[in-house]
Structure 1
């Protein structure tokens, strides 16, 4: 056993040292053209020795942090090893690099603060040299970059990670406050109610003053322990962290998590649905304004939204075990009085192993999309109005309703938001890359192929950036096409410079003279 431990420690130690032979090449490259005067748009391409996994650009220093990570030979799986490379874009020089083992390590960066976590220890690295400036026995999960405070759970050698949450001064690694906060079912969300008070959604709601750790607690159940292996066999697919919204994942192999809704916040209250109840919480004091108990065994991952007088709940009928989605609870829709919490209706959708994949409101009616059918309900009564199956094998399985960020060319070849192009229609994406145009009687009126769709991924006061595969159009506020460039939906804009990554390349494009950032 000691040999295994020593070998593991040697692996971690060896990964901390940098390689001296890495090279980063750079050259100018034509990346597009102006559609106003046909002039070429020139960018700078930085070519790294391996596939780029993640990047972070600190604009104050001009330092680019690149994490590399290769794919398996078949391109389906990420390998566990890679490199952290720190590169100075201004001087076009390599500053430092070190290896990273992704199965035991992670890197987070916030402005000029770099947190490197290996196993149960988090270290702060000097961004110029890569040298460790301090270390704590704590996995720092979240950083407040303004107050320069990191938060994470204390690790004890005897028991592992505890429920003791610590606030850590990122300048020196000193613990400045401690607070007990249940981590059993993971964290689902973090948001702020003012400059210094954050709300953590984790087995309830918890207000935390980032400077001293104080605040109120609202505790509720957001998961299930000791879930049986036979039921877990229903688990399918892999849920990406960005889709589940989970910051800190529960670690137990038999723990079901994410039996919770999004948080709704108005001027005075926070609304949250859990496994046991829907509640309205005073966001200043944590006092419960009202709560409505939900029927046992029904709740799952859900979405809540409201109009002037009602809070609506769409219960999806699934949850997560680790990163795997499984059928859990039952799909239902419900409505509650916003002031009193009194239930107006709760309509159970009596199906098995068929969760709600998406919902959309149109003219006081709610449409629910399932794998092979769409149902329409009255938001006033909760009664079903219409149901239709979609079994045409040419369509494929239904996936979700298309959002306003999806664009299509109209008859004048102008790019317009697809849902806004005909607000009387529903647009549903399928697993065969088709988008179905569906009328209010659930008839398919048109089919749009994936290659004819574009995604709006960036927007300034005057311009939209809309990508189709690896090409982007820059469109002004009047809908006029200004420029065409090589850029994907990964691209981001800082000032008047667009940055993008492609396999081993990181590209910067100065758009000065083509756009103006107002």
Structure 2
């Protein structure tokens, strides 16, 4: 091969490398502007810091105290057309620049205040939030990361996430090799669920106790239970609102059938044979209330007025039959206060209103939480009651009119509201008669609070702040809002807006 040809090939390779590097660095060019992002009720412009990125945002996590964000920028696999490799980066809002970034393959990324867990294929590593350097490789996934204290737990070892060193050991792997299905953080304790039992350990020392279930013999099966609360679709997507959906939730390998409730150092949970109460520190079983196994399925428990309540869904999603019911027990002694069965239909949703619990499973049930008195009502057959529906708290729905904002419950005089799969709001009287059907675009939903202002969201995706029945400011749609302290972060596909609410309401 002639020397000129070698020089040409080398030059082409250098150009290709420079082009690839240039394309990569283009993803980290940021346009920072101080722009008008909305208007107050008096039409005064609201300004915010706007950051426009060259690549789409796949994940983002803000830290208002450090004035920075951890961002995973998207890269699309040209062969498969799906998200593959991406760039993990630390962005400084004050300077408007990225501090560091590197390529990752995979999207299983979590963080504490000062450390990052990143799983890529079969390997996982810890990285420093300060400079992006690798702290160390880790043997398995971290099921729990304590944000403030930088402590991680992966099913066996507690780890200092800053140094990567193990600080205690408490193995909770089930006999069949499955890792815990869920972790709860209660005070200074971690509560871990396995198929075979319950494990509680101190976050800082690992000391604790273990409880082996006697009702999980045989092959493990997936139990579907309620995890969290909220509505599905449209206006209610991802919102933590008062109504509770008894939908399938998240699958887990466990012998337990419910969420966990805690109060004054005691934890409560339901398994296949009933309701149990433990001392979270000592592991002492305070009481157990047996319930027929044929009745139990996925359930939700909550504490109110000195009692522990259990709402059992009824028809389990994996084919086993249970009974829909609501029951109450003294939270200290476990003595039964009442037990009410609710027909045969699986419970779809419920809502607590003062001392009344509304439950919907095709029929409407109204239960007095103090006495257990039950009143049931069949729905009048029409197209609005055939679809699965979820309760809406009418106090969180506001109607905008000439006089300002008013509660939808006051305007429409409904006793309860429900949302359909088509995202329509049905207003019903106490005897379950349909009074009106509302479009969610015409309503504002309370979605948080900033000092004496309520944060609102409507069906169009617009955001507003309300005080004393008046809208104080309005922001356009197309963003996901995240309020941290006095700062409202508005995130879109390729941009972040930062609005200082303390400056907006300075006057």
TM-score, structure 1 normalization: 0.76
CA distances 1:361-405 after superposition (whole Å, capped 9, x unpaired): 4575543213x4433455567675323135422566132111367
Deviation for aligned residue 1:341: 2.2
Question: Does 1:35 find its partner at 2:41?
Answer: yes
Shifted more, 481-490 versus 426-435: the winner is 481-490
Aligned residues: 463
Equivalent residue number for residue 509 of structure 1: 499
CA distances 1:175-216 after superposition (whole Å, capped 9, x unpaired): 1111122454844451223xx334345555533211210012
Equivalent residue number for residue 192 of structure 1: 186
Sort the Cα spacing of 1:197 and 1:246 in 2 relative to 1 into closer, same or farther, 3 A: farther
Sort the Cα spacing of 1:197 and 1:247 in 2 relative to 1 into closer, same or farther, 3 A: farther
Deviation for aligned residue 1:95: 3.3
- The runs of 5 or more residues in structure 1 that have no matched partner are 1-17, 154-164
Aligned equivalents of 1:258, 1:80: Cα separation in 2: 36
Aligned equivalents of 1:271, 1:299: Cα separation in 2: 16
Q: Which of 116, 135, 138 does residue 136 from structure 1 map onto? A: 138
Equivalent residue number for residue 152 of structure 1: 154
Contact residue 490 and residue 498 of structure 2 kept, 8 A: yes
Deviation for aligned residue 1:56: 1.1
Question: Does 1:214 find its partner at 2:207?
Answer: yes
Aligned equivalents of 2:26, 2:478: Cα separation in 1: 30
- Map 1:156-171 to 2 at 5 A: 165-171=156-162
- Map 1:494-505 to 2 at 5 A: 494-505=484-495
Sort the Cα spacing of 1:97 and 1:493 in 2 relative to 1 into closer, same or farther, 3 A: same
Deviation for aligned residue 1:309: 5.2
Aligned equivalents of 2:191, 2:84: Cα separation in 1: 33
Aligned equivalents of 1:413, 1:258: Cα separation in 2: 54
Aligned equivalents of 1:355, 1:214: Cα separation in 2: 40
- Structure label with greater radius of gyration: 2
Deviation for aligned residue 1:434: 1.0
Contact residue 336 and residue 345 of structure 1 kept, 8 A: yes
Question: Does 1:83 find its partner at 2:83?
Answer: no
- The runs of 5 or more residues in structure 2 that have no matched partner are 1-22, 225-231
- Map 1:42-61 to 2 at 5 A: 42-61=47-66
Equivalent residue number for residue 97 of structure 1: 101
The secondary structure found in structure 1 opposite 2:294 is coil
Contact residue 213 and residue 255 of structure 2 kept, 8 A: no
Question: Does 1:389 find its partner at 2:379?
Answer: yes
Question: Does 1:473 find its partner at 2:479?
Answer: no
Aligned equivalents of 2:477, 2:220: Cα separation in 1: 45
Deviation for aligned residue 1:245: 12
Sort the Cα spacing of 1:171 and 1:127 in 2 relative to 1 into closer, same or farther, 3 A: closer
Sort the Cα spacing of 1:412 and 1:269 in 2 relative to 1 into closer, same or farther, 3 A: farther
Deviation for aligned residue 1:431: 0.5
Shifted more, 492-501 versus 373-382: the winner is 373-382
Question: Does 1:178 find its partner at 2:169?
Answer: yes
Runs of 4+ deviating beyond 6 Å: 70-73, 221-225, 237-249, 420-424
The secondary structure found in structure 2 opposite 1:278 is strand
Sort the Cα spacing of 1:31 and 1:212 in 2 relative to 1 into closer, same or farther, 3 A: same
Equivalent residue number for residue 457 of structure 1: 447
TM-score, structure 2 normalization: 0.78
Deviation for aligned residue 1:142: 1.4
Sort the Cα spacing of 1:268 and 1:486 in 2 relative to 1 into closer, same or farther, 3 A: same
Contact residue 435 and residue 447 of structure 1 kept, 8 A: yes
Shifted more, 448-457 versus 121-130: the winner is 121-130
Sort the Cα spacing of 1:23 and 1:412 in 2 relative to 1 into closer, same or farther, 3 A: same
The secondary structure found in structure 2 opposite 1:356 is coil
Deviation for aligned residue 1:151: 0.8
